[in-house]
A and B are shown apart, each in its own frame.
Chain A
Amino acid sequence: MNGNALDLAILVLVPPLLPAVIARTKAFFAGRRGQPLLQPYRDILRLLRKDAVYSRTTTWVFRAGPLVSCATALAAGAVLPLSASRHAGGFSGDIVVFAYLLGLGRFFTMAAALDTGSSFEGMGASREAAFSSLAEPALFVALAILAINARALSFAGTFGALTWSMWGWNAPVLLVACLAIGVVLLAENARIPIDDPNTHLELTMVHEVMVLDHGSVDLALVQYGSAVRLFVFGALFLHTVLPHLEVSHSTGAAILLAGELAVAVMVGVVESVMARLRLPRVPQVLAGAGLLAAIGLIIQLARSAR
């Protein structure tokens, strides 16, 4: 129980650190010093003190958007085992709950964007819907690979079945699952080869354009929620890359923190060395990740059948 409380505290407190680490990594590549590591926390606190302004065309859907997307991200993080030690708890089918909690959050973000009646936000929502409809199969197939490997539908069983020796006899399948989850991580968190989080041109935005009309507490929730989503996907990626470890809970939590920082640095490096893809290329990359995952699934099915 104590360990779970530790996990929960990490889930609530650490996420805003990750965008700052990414920004620092990008600043390092550009030869700048970059923002202080605590800047996202300060931004969120500043936004929380501001008064909200709502357009008269919006309804409760607009106000529910940031709240639901932030809450679902936290709930998805609570479903996923976080610390890298032996996992207890969970329930059969929590993999599906995880994927659809994130899907629900995305749906409400898109609904809130449509609710403003702005043409730019509608365009962003349509792009988000198109991209996520391609990213979701990739995520699902990658999770299916892991579930079939473990013959379990819970995260605890799935991650428990991953061992170091699996990299020896089942390397292609694991590699494919890691790659697919990595691409989905970049896509779902609106990072650079798919989407540019720092762009200021509405025509090229995907994710950022959907939150243009949010301010004050809502914007704070949006920023916090997207940091939590990055953290949750980072943990998922980490558990797939790093096999199951027999360590105490606090060591597992330390490994989780180090791994999340490594994931953030990795994302920063990807953002620094790559240009953003042209919009028509994005579906190709996402569909390619899905196809790759499908091949991994075929190999996994062939191997677990014998």
Chain B
Amino acid sequence: MTAWTDLGLLGVIVTDLFVLSTTRIGACIRALTIQGILLAVLPPLLHGGPGTSGQLVITALVTLLIKAVVIPRLLSRAMRDAEVRREAQPFVSMHLSGLLGVSLVAFAFWVGRALRLPIAVASDLILPVSLATFFVGFLVLVSRRKAITQVVGFLMLENGVFLFGLCLTRALPFVVELAVLLDVLVGVFVMGIMIHHIRQEFDHLDTFELASLKE
């Protein structure tokens, strides 16, 4: 059982770094979809067993629906409407951000060793991977110009928080998890509307331009 969990967590890190080192927004969204599927599968793998509770199954299904179907669809539609395909001229070059990503993963593992959790965790990788996803999501959020890639970064950040919650899931009621999922969905809706408005106003999605004042 731990082997499959570990492989799933490895997949999460790999999708993190993939998003960090690709310029194509479509590929970013696909990687996010894969990450969503992995996140939906992980809780039953970790806490499931012969007597799996109905709550666990419902959370997994809702996670799958929102993270792997609804949000990627919304993002793809935003991408199509805004007619952006590539993240041109990010603030940090792709090679550098790949290297930064690996250092962030190393940092996350270092922090994860220092952090002591109140309850025992099924796999020693969950905490570092959740921190790494959080950091990498944050890096994507601050280092990209296009609004869609920034949304992708925000969602990865949220995925990190979701994984962190997985460490504490025995202590955290599932209602809270579901509420967080709903919040994220609403957040993506709001961002979709924002993207629409930025595009209508400026004819492009470069958020850097928002920093300069115009008459």
| B13 close to chain A: CB less than 8 A | yes
Give chain B residues whose Cβ lies under 8 Å from the Cβ of A306. Answer: 113, 124
Query: Within the complex, which residue of B3, B95, B109 is in contact with A168, where a contact is CB–CB below 8 Å?
Result: B3
| B17 on interface, CB distance cutoff 8 Å | yes
- Of B54-62, B81-89, B98-106, B173-181, the one contacting chain A is B98-106
Interfacial chain B residues near A169, Cβ < 8 Å: 2-3
Residues of A within 8 A of B105 (CB): 295, 298
Residues in A with CB closer than 8 Å to B27 are: none
Q: Are A298 and B7 neighbours in the complex by a CB distance under 8 Å?
A: no
Q: Report A168-182 CB contacts with B as 1/0, cut-off 8 Å.
A: 111110011000000
CB-based contact A168/B2 at 8 Å: yes
Shortest Cβ distance from B2 into A: residue: A169
Contact yes or no, A294 B10, CB < 8 A = no
A299 touching B125 by the CB < 8 A rule? yes
Q: Is the pair A287, B14 in contact by a Cβ cutoff of 8 Å? A: no
Known contacts A292-B14, A299-B125: A172-B109 contact under CB 8 Å: no
Q: Report how far A287 CA is from B102 CA in the complex, Å.
A: 12
Complex CA gap A284/B18 in Å reads 11
Task: Return the CB mask of A120-154 against B: 1 if under 8 Å, else 0.
Answer: 00000000000000000000000000000000000
Check if A302 sits within 8 Å of B128, measured CB to CB.
yes
Query: Which A residues are CB-close (under 8 A) to B124?
Result: 302-303, 306
Chain B's closest residue to A168 (CB) is B3
A227 to B65, CA, bound (A): 51
0/1 interface trace, chain A 64-86, chain B, CB 8 Å (1 if under): 00000000000000000000000
Does A257 lie at the interface of the complex (its beta carbon under 8 Å from any beta carbon of B)?
A: no
Cross-chain contact B2 with A176 (CB below 8 angstroms):
no
Hey, which chain B residues are within 8 Å of A291, CB to CB? 17, 21, 98, 101-102
Cα–Cα, bound, A306→B123 (Å): 13
Are A171 and B109 neighbours in the complex by a CB distance under 8 Å?
no
For chain A residues 158-217, which have a beta carbon within 8 Å of chain B? 167-172, 175-176
Task: Report A282-306 CB contacts with B as 1/0, cut-off 8 Å.
Answer: 0010011001101100110111011
A171 to chain B, nearest CB (A): 4
Contacts A175-B10, A291-B102, A292-B14; A298 near B109 (Cβ below 8 A): yes
Contacts of A170 in B (CB 8 A): 6
| Distance in angstroms between the alpha carbons of A168 and B124 in the assembled complex | 14
**Is B166 among interface residues, defined by CB-CB distance under 8 A?**
no
CB distance from B170 to the nearest CB of A (A): 22
Alpha-carbon distance A94/B101, docked complex (angstroms):
32
B29: which A residues are within 8 A, CB to CB?
none
Given A168-B2, A172-B125, A295 and B7 contact (CB-CB distance below 8 Å)? no
Which residues of chain A are within 8 angstroms of B125 by Cβ–Cβ distance? Answer: 172, 299
Provide the residues of chain B in CB contact with A299, threshold 8 Å: 10, 109, 125
The 9 closest A-B CB pairs, nearest first, are: A172-B10, A171-B3, A302-B109, A172-B6, A294-B102, A298-B106, A168-B3, A298-B109, A171-B6
8 A-B residue pairings within 8 Å (CB atoms): A167-B3, A172-B6, A295-B14, A298-B106, A299-B10, A302-B124, A306-B113, A306-B124
